[in-house]
Amino acid sequence: MSEPLVIVGNGMAAARLVDELTKAAQGRYAIAVIGDEPRLAYNRVLLSSVLAGETASHDIELKPATWWRDRGVTLKYGCVATEIDVGRRELKIAGEESISFSRLVLATGSTPLRLNVSGADLAGVHTFRDSRDVDLLLTLAAQKKRVVVVGGGLLGLEAAYGLAKAGSPVTLIHLMDRLMERQLDAPAAELLKSLVERKGIRVLLNANTARLLGETRVEGIELVDGRRIEADAVIFAAGIRPNVALAKDAGIPVNRGIVVDDVMQTAAPDIFALGECAEHRGICYGLVEPAYEQGRVLARYLAGGAAAYQGSVVATNLKVSGVSVFSAGDFMGADGCEAIVLSDVRHGTYKKLVISDGRLTGAVLVGDVGDALWYLELIRNREPVARIRPDMMFGRSLSIRPEAA
Ligand SMILES: Cc1cc2nc3c(=O)[nH]c(=O)nc-3n(C[C@H](O)[C@H](O)[C@H](O)COP(=O)(O)OP(=O)(O)OC[C@H]3O[C@@H](n4cnc5c(N)ncnc54)[C@H](O)[C@@H]3O)c2cc1C
């Protein structure tokens, strides 16, 4: 008989896990997925494209309903899991009967942070995480509402671009002295800023939010240095917090995320976590590729095979905004590293390759990102690059000539 395996969360990590697991061990588990969003799992990464009007919301589903049905998966969406009874191996679901599991996987993702300032709860203050948020933001943009986006990371930039493209006057404010400081060095960030400003987005750096203005609805934002920006809506895109409450309340150890070992198992036997809610070797990843790698490992383990997750080398791509940006590995270059830099700001191109011990360890690309995946492969495989070094900056086709290959 199939063992009952329950997954909490119907997001990207859960969908990948089901895909891998049903390939590796078809029929071994009776899988149930409990998700609180009211739709089939979709590609969250593409929400930015939906907001920018480049993709339709119904086109971002990861798998059609028939795919889930064909694999015998019980899908419960619009359902919130509220409590794990570790001893009885039961999961409570709001408004429904508890369900039993022999194995449980937490794939609960993250929640966007709201700044801890006065006014953060006013009407007109939103976040950018799911398709309901996107519907709301598109309504704002259609009404040409003036929007302030708080946060100049990947998410904030994508929100700002989408809203601007959909018709809103947008100001993007960022606490730090450069955009995407966790992925870009100063020259790359400066170039990105100028490219974003050309799209009509006003960018304010070193902008520390003091409070949001307004009585019941937000009317603007005041910065610590006294500057005020009028706004009809404010979007927080200033970080995420892993959803750990279910695990924590059940007595399962959590730090920032739910602590897991190399097979994604928590301290409670047969209870696993993966994706943004999980913390592996002290790291909570906020990206989809690590979640997919974790899904592969966990599926192999649950299918009875040997597997171990060793952590991920992360890469970031800015997808929308008409500006291509890629960053991976140690892009700043620690002491003792060398950097090869090509900067053609007038033409909107900047490339930096960081080399350490004869290997590529990091890369930043703005403008021309055609070779991004090749650089990422070199970083991940830790291949020696001495032979291709003179041409490496100019991309794969020029570097891997027959005599050099
Ligand atoms: C707009 C946007 C753009 C992004 N762009 C990129 C990008 O370019 N590259 C990249 O790598 N990553 C990007 N990300 C991040 C990426 O989407 C996440 O890393 C990925 O979705 C994580 O997958 P997950 O399954 O862990 O979490 P999620 O996809 O968030 O899924 C978790 C699901 O669990 C549900 N859930 C939570 N608690 C419960 C509960 N108690 N009961 C039932 N259900 C519950 C949530 O509602 C959610 O549906 C982006 C994110 C956003 C929001």
Closest CA to 235 of 142, 160, 174: 160
For residue 316, is pLDDT > 90? no
**Identity (one letter) of the amino acid at 196?**
V
pLDDT of residue 133: 95
Closest CA to 162 of 237, 241, 228: 237
For residue 80, is pLDDT > 60? yes
For residue 225, is pLDDT > 70? yes
Q: Give, in order, the Cα–Cα distances in Å from 267 to each of 14, 89, 258, 274, 402.
A: 20, 15, 9, 14, 51
The residue whose C-alpha atom lies closest to atom 29 belonging to ligand 1 is 11
pLDDT of residue 327: 93
pLDDT of residue 332: 83
pLDDT of residue 402: 52
Choose the weakest-confidence range: 38-47, 211-220, 323-332.
Answer: 323-332
- Mention every residue, 6+ apart, whose C-beta is less than 8 A from residue 403: none
Sheet holding 74-77, edge to edge: 74-77, 29-35, 3-8, 103-106, 271-273
Candidate of 105, 287, 373 to mutate for ligand 1, largest count of ligand atoms within 8 Å of Cβ = 287
Q: Are strands 278-280 and 258-260 parallel, antiparallel or unpaired?
A: parallel
pLDDT of residue 208: 96
For residue 380, is pLDDT > 80? yes
pLDDT above 70 covers a percentage of the chain that reads 98
Whole-number mean pLDDT of the chain?
93
Mean pLDDT of the region 342-351: 88
Backbone torsion region of residue 83, taken as left when φ is above 0, otherwise alpha when ψ lies between -120 and 50, otherwise beta: beta
Q: DSSP 3-state helix, strand, coil percentages of the chain (rounded to 5)?
A: 30, 30, 45
State which ligand 1 atom lies nearest to the alpha carbon of 51: 1
pLDDT of residue 330: 84
Q: In this structure, what is the dihedral angle of CA atoms 204, 236, 38, 5, given to the nearest 10 degrees?
A: 110
- C-alpha 276 to ligand 1 mean position (Å): 7
Alpha helices in 45-177 (DSSP H): 47-51, 65-70, 131-142, 154-166
State which ligand 1 atom lies nearest to the alpha carbon of 285: 19
